[in-house]
Amino acid sequence: MPLILVTNDDGITANGIRELVSIAREYGDVLVVAPDSPQSAQGHAITIERPVFVRESDVFGPKVESYECSGTPVDCVKIAKSVLLHGRKPDLCVSGINHGSNAAINILYSGTLSAAMEASLEGIPSIGFSFLDYRADADFTPCRPYVHQLIQHVLQNGMEAGSLFNVNIPKLEEGQIKGLKVCRQAEARWVEEYQRGEDPRGRPYYWLTGRFVNEDERLDTDALALQSGYVSLVPSHHDLTNYAALDRLKALEGALQPPQTPGQPRTGPVKNQQLEQF
């Protein structure tokens, strides 16, 4: 039986992870390691200045090995690998189902996708699932067919090393979703604002808010797929190199010289011989 690691960022009691565990159990043995409280927008944060506590949980019943962790979503994956798996390597890591979108730039902020990315760094095929419904009582029924199909696909076909799937599912009724689109990540961003207020003691505080702006007019983006009623699948990885800029910036290798140590002769091209004699 395949071994499937399940995690999330909304906390071990969230409805989304309950749905994901029920589906994953149909394909193999399941180990759940998830935060003991909501950890949304933690990105790839890890805990290094305080201890991490791990406790067994019975939230999924006696037949599912599960643990709640005091750390971040990435901590959950690290604890699973280093402590709980005892040398076993999962065949798949699934993270979610997240309450809300992780399309476009949200992948950088998302604890859901960072947990999946951490697993992929360890060579574990990984999928992050998100449903565009922020309600705590969201009905995840429309997600089930796509979660089933993608888990089956990865278990049967594997995944390139270091890769993960960022899967977002539109908030539509069952039967209204048009299908799945394999996409690129949209060039979109948050325009942020802070609302100022005062606590009961008169101390000022600031609450982050904002609006999502998508100015990407390409036809193959995750944002457009979701807007058009499709599930979006973006193949992602941790390599943030801007490959388009590599060749253009090669000229800097010859133009920039290392700093000179006092007393050592200058190296590199001499720009002005008259100035050099002084």
Full DSSP string of 150-218: HHHHHHHH---TTEEEEEEE-S--TTT---EEE-BPP-EEEEEEEEEEE-TTS-EEEEEEEEEEE----
- pLDDT, tens digit, 9 for 90 and up, residues 111-154: 999 999 999 999 999 999 999 998 888 999 999 999 999 999 99
What is the extent of the structural domain holding 230?
A: 3-185+219-245
- pLDDT, tens digit, 9 for 90 and up, residues 92-117: 999 999 999 999 888 888 999 999 99
Report the domain count for the chain.
1
- pLDDT, tens digit, 9 for 90 and up, residues 202-239: 999 988 888 888 887 888 999 999 999 999 999 999 88
Contact predicate 181/232, CB 8 Å: yes
Numbered residues of the known binding site: 9-10, 40, 98
Helix axes 15-24, 144-157, angle to 10 degrees: 50
DSSP code of residue 109: H
pTM confidence score = 0.86
Within a domain: 167: yes
**What are the backbone dihedrals phi and psi of residue 15, each rounded to the nearest 5 degrees, phi first?**
-65, -30
Within a domain: 59: yes
Instruction: Output the domain CATH number for residue 162.
Output: 3.40.1210.10
Within a domain: 170: yes
- pLDDT, tens digit, 9 for 90 and up, residues 259-274: 766 666 555 544 444 3
Q: What confidence score (pLDDT) does residue 270 get?
A: 44
Within a domain: 47: yes
> Residue 196: beta bridge partners?
206
Contact predicate 115/48, CB 8 Å: no
- pLDDT, tens digit, 9 for 90 and up, residues 34-77: 999 988 888 888 899 999 999 999 999 989 999 999 999 999 99
Numbered residues of the known binding site for a divalent metal cation: 9-10, 40, 98
Within a domain: 204: no
Within a domain: 241: yes
**What are the backbone dihedrals phi and psi of residue 226, each rounded to the nearest 5 degrees, phi first?**
-65, -40
